[in-house]
Structure 1
């Protein structure tokens, strides 16, 4: 049998309760996990603990693995997410430079090159490659670590893609972007080390403390790309794949295995009739098997399993519909929807043409008493002017739901929760890299749904127009919580939507189309971007939205390309993002920002160094750098570096509270300015 078959058999045996198979599975894959984590966190003292934590996660999650043949990529996915959690937890303020304490704070960006350069004695371009990896952001360094495993033959492209919850095509795009940043940094390092030094580069770096962050990387890369003197340093770069193939893999350190064995012998890992440590198997020893149901590590007990089990299906009680609510039709999304007076106000619809319920049957009629079981079935039969109501409960599709049918301007299609019930679409059962819901249809209103745990994008509206997305909650996705993309993406409205705990929150990206509006959106604690307009060539209007606790708040640029988009942002707030609050990112268009607030962002509040932006009455307080604005910008009435006393700081918890009855953002005094500058977080002028 080949290696894949052996692994599959071991997984199946371990899921059935075979402890010897579990030992073999763990022992066989520990070197791979150690290399992935070790390369990404090299120089960090927590590598061994994080590897151990990853192996615990693999054991705990093994019974729910539905595709045993994907064990390796699934295990690497767990390692990848553990690394992300590690950085969020330990280096929440990683971009902040505290002058007095800077030398005492470990630099997380030194996780790869510092020890790699020393321990592996890289020379020439290998050394340049390792140093350039220091300049990558956290997510790209993790991707670089996985790519190293692929270059060494330890991972396939499909396994790499699965580990980052992407399709192979999307993974290729991510790798290409990471490679572009890496090669740009390699050229910069060559230019910085050249003698004589380029006079313009010397002037550009005057006063620079050599601290590497994304802002400086982009500035210096742009210089070496555009400068006739420095452009030559981008030539003759040996491909990273060739360089990586010449570097050996990291062996699992004997000290870790010995330490684990000593740890177990010392009794720090308790072994009872109902507890078993797997640490002995990591050290090449047999685990103690005694009808175990839990594993105790460091005083924390994690339940194991007694065999495969099925999760119960939630079957809601069907409630008779009434006609007490008159559902308001949506106008063209570019205008503000104005609901008709209602006798009773619901988040969802009071009645529908088609019903879906977790306990339904796709062979039924789709009526209230005989609902369908899946959204896919309902969208396959819906016609213009009809309404689909999802009943309360959890839906677990196992493949992407495609919405291709369109309504018309006077006969819109509505997809909604029923009354005040909350339907939950759980996408965790989709194959790795699969998108949850992909809509190409136009003239839809989608509202009142919770969407969670997509392996990649949760909801994608692709080349769609005249749609309304309102009162949605999307969280836990491996890519974006909600994405609008593609040519002809026009006149869509995203309103009163919550996006949190995803890789990215909201994206209006990689496409074109006029009249798209975003308002009342709350994007928070996403790994990378809160609200991202990268690569979208037409103006998007963003109003009264909040983006906080992400890497970047509002990204308005082109990603790795240059766009000329005159986006309009009014009364938005970005706070506590580890990077930039309002980020130009390659957009040379005449961006208009009016009464926006950037507070306590880790790098820069407003970063618009080359945009001829129009900035009116914006407010920046307590950011690492409050504003980097182009000399060609038209700036009036802004307050850069304002005193914190002019804003409210005591009502922060309310920003994550319940929305108001009409779905708008909660009332709060947080960041409320006492001047004419800054966002009106409650929508008041």
Structure 2
């Protein structure tokens, strides 16, 4: 706050004090509209305090209780209770153990205060069907600015009630679905027209901007069911660095209002269609699917490779993908569309056959996918000079072991 020198004239001193008081009052009024407002220090001296976001840590553990306060020492027992207690800025830490699915998250975070649900040990918090399942998804998220990180979604232990058609269903905006292991979803259900997915990013409720990264998705849908997919997108999204195999429909499937999607660095195998890019049957938009870019993916040993159908615009691109051994055709693009930088050879995975429980998708030395990817756009000359030419696919040749995630029990 401005101060008046002691030697100033009385009138000037009074004028300055009045101006200073008015300035402080105006600032106090301004900051009182913000969360936390402002305060006066003891003694009456004005001191503005810029409000800071208070972040909350909640804990869930198998030995907890939903009557607990959700602290580290007294954790909750269920994900549902943590979802009720979460608020903008909350991180929910979930200890290793088994938890019932059918979870719904509806509380929104904000761009500055996201809500994060994370397994404290990647893949060790395991979500399974409840005794009497009442929901068609293991995790149904309707909130915005929320992240789901590091869980295992395991549909193998169905007991009774409604069978899951989706592992993680996301209908909100600006959400992240990262490093989850989603498997055995809807493998013994009738093939329904509405379908399902291991991970779904849906625009029906006007959700946008999903980020699906680093997930391991497999064994989705009954045999020969074209409506059950590994990762399904019907809005704007990034789909990157995922491993998908044995999805009865498409490994990655874009339809409805899908547009402005980046499909980068995924590995898709042993599915109906590897990557399906299309638009139609619109929810809210008028199409087409445009500005979707398919880059650095391995699409191997599927019934079909990369397929484009429906309403698609002129600004789609297919660059530096390895597409090989898809008997129904490696490519099916719109007339006149070209793919560039394609590698047409076996990827030479470390250990793979299509019925293997957990294939090892690392690249063996000599793989044609090593160093053949398209680098991300560099923001400056230094980054461009230092960038290593990336490998194609989700797992680089010097990456983690089989699947990059803990193996689950069959």
- Please confirm whether the aligned pair reaches a TM-score higher than 0.5, indicating the same fold: yes
* 1:537 and 2:246 correspond: no
Closer, same or farther: CA 455–675 of 1 in aligned 2, 3 Å: closer
Q: Offset at 1:422?
A: 0.7
Equivalent residues of 1:593, 1:613 under 8 A apart: no
Relative contact order higher in (CA < 8 Å, ≥ 6 apart): 2
**What is the alpha-carbon distance in structure 2 between the residues aligned to residue 451 and residue 428 of structure 1?**
12
Q: 1:476 aligns with which of 176, 184, 196?
A: 184
Which residue matches 2:32? none
Q: What is the correspondence of 1:1-12 to structure 2 with a 5 Å cutoff? A: none
C-alpha displacement of 1:614: 4.6
- The CA deviation at 1:536 is 2.9
Partner of 1:521: 242
Equivalent residue number for residue 459 of structure 1 = 168
SS of structure 1 residue aligned to 2:177: strand
Q: How many residues align?
A: 296
Trace 1:639-678 onto structure 2 (pairs within 5 A). 644=345, 648-649=347-348, 651-653=350-352, 666-669=362-365, 671-673=367-369
1:359: how far off?
A: 2.6
539 and 502 in structure 1: CA distance in 2 versus 1, 3 angstrom threshold: same
Change (3 A) 1:598 1:401: same
Any conservation in 2 of the 1:526–1:549 contact (CA below 8 Å)?
A: yes
Instruction: Measure how far apart 1:402 and its partner are.
Output: 1.6
Structure-2 separation of matches of 1:606 and 1:614: 10
Q: Tell me, in whole angstroms, the C-alpha distance in 2 between the residues paired with 1:418 and 1:650.
A: 30
**2:217 counterpart residue number:** 499
Secondary structure of 1:616's counterpart equals coil
Runs (5+) with no aligned partner, structure 2: 1-54, 156-162, 187-195, 222-228, 375-390, 398-410
Counterparts of 1:373-388 in structure 2 under 5 Å?
373-388=77-92
1:360 aligned to which of 53, 56, 64:
64
Q: Any conservation in 1 of the 2:348–2:363 contact (CA below 8 Å)?
A: no
The answer to whether the 8 A contact 1:432-1:456 is kept is no
CA contact (8 A) 1:565 1:589 kept: yes
Checking the alignment, whether the CA contact within 8 Å between 1:501 and 1:526 is kept in structure 2 is yes
Contact 1:428 1:455 in 2 (8 A): no
Q: Closer, same or farther in 2 for the Cα pair 1:537/1:482, shift >3 Å?
A: closer
Equivalent position of 2:296 in the other structure: 571
C-alpha offsets along residues 638-659 of structure 1, whole Å, 9 cap, x if unaligned?
A: xxxxxx4xx5536343998999
Structure with the larger strand share: 2
Equivalent position SS for 2:278: coil
Instruction: Classify the secondary structure of the residue corresponding to 2:309.
Output: coil
Alignment partner, residue 320 of structure 2:
595
Q: 1:15-35 CA distances to partner (integer Å, 9 max, x unpaired)?
A: xxxxxxxxxxxxxxxxxxxxx
Q: Sort the Cα spacing of 1:552 and 1:433 in 2 relative to 1 into closer, same or farther, 3 A.
A: farther
Kindly indicate whether residue 207 of structure 2 is the aligned counterpart of residue 489 of structure 1: yes
Residue 430 of structure 1 contacts residue 436 of structure 1 at CA under 8 Å; is this kept in 2? no
Where do residues 131-150 of structure 1 align in structure 2 (5 Å cutoff)? none
Equivalent residue, structure 2, for 1:98:
none
CA distance in 2, matches of 1:457, 1:650: 29
RMSD: 3.2
Matched, 1:680 2:381: no
Shift of 1:394: 0.8
Change (3 A) 1:654 1:384: farther
Q: 1:652 to 1:593 in 2, by over 3 A?
A: farther
Change over 3 Å in CA distance of 1:600–1:657 after alignment to 2 = same
Taking the aligned partners of 1:506 and 1:570, their CA distance within structure 2 comes to: 16
1:406 and 2:125 aligned:
no
Residues 258 and 278, structure 2, Cα contact 8 Å, conserved in 1: no
Aligned to 1:424: 126
Distance 1:589 1:368, change over 3 A: same
The alpha-carbon distance between structure 1 residues 673 and 458, as it changes in their structure 2 partners (threshold 3 A), is closer
TM-fit CA distance, 1:477: 0.8
Shift of residue 409, structure 1, vs aligned partner? 1.1
* Match of residue 93, structure 2, among 376, 383, 389: 389
Task: Please give the secondary structure, in 2, of the residue aligned with 1:584.
Answer: strand
Matches within 5 A, 1:536-555: 536-555=257-276
Post-superposition CA distance 1:418-468 (Å, at most 9, x none): 145710000264537622211111112211100011621111111x22212
TM-score (norm 2): 0.65
Instruction: Measure, in 1, the Cα distance between the counterparts of 2:230 and 2:215.
Output: 10
Go from structure 1 to structure 2 and tell me whether the alpha carbon gap of 1:668 and 1:366 turns closer, same or farther (over 3 Å shift).
Answer: farther
Q: CA deviation at 1:543?
A: 0.4
The 8 Å contact of residues 447 and 471 in structure 1, kept in 2 or not, is answered as yes
CA distance in 2, matches of 1:667, 1:555: 24
The Cα offsets for residues 324-348 of structure 1, whole Å up to 9 and x where unpaired, read as xxxxxxxxxxxxxxxxxxxxxxxxx
Change in Cα spacing, 1:394 to 1:559, as seen in structure 2 (3 Å) is farther
Q: Check whether the contact 2:183–2:198 (CA below 8 A) recurs between aligned residues.
A: yes
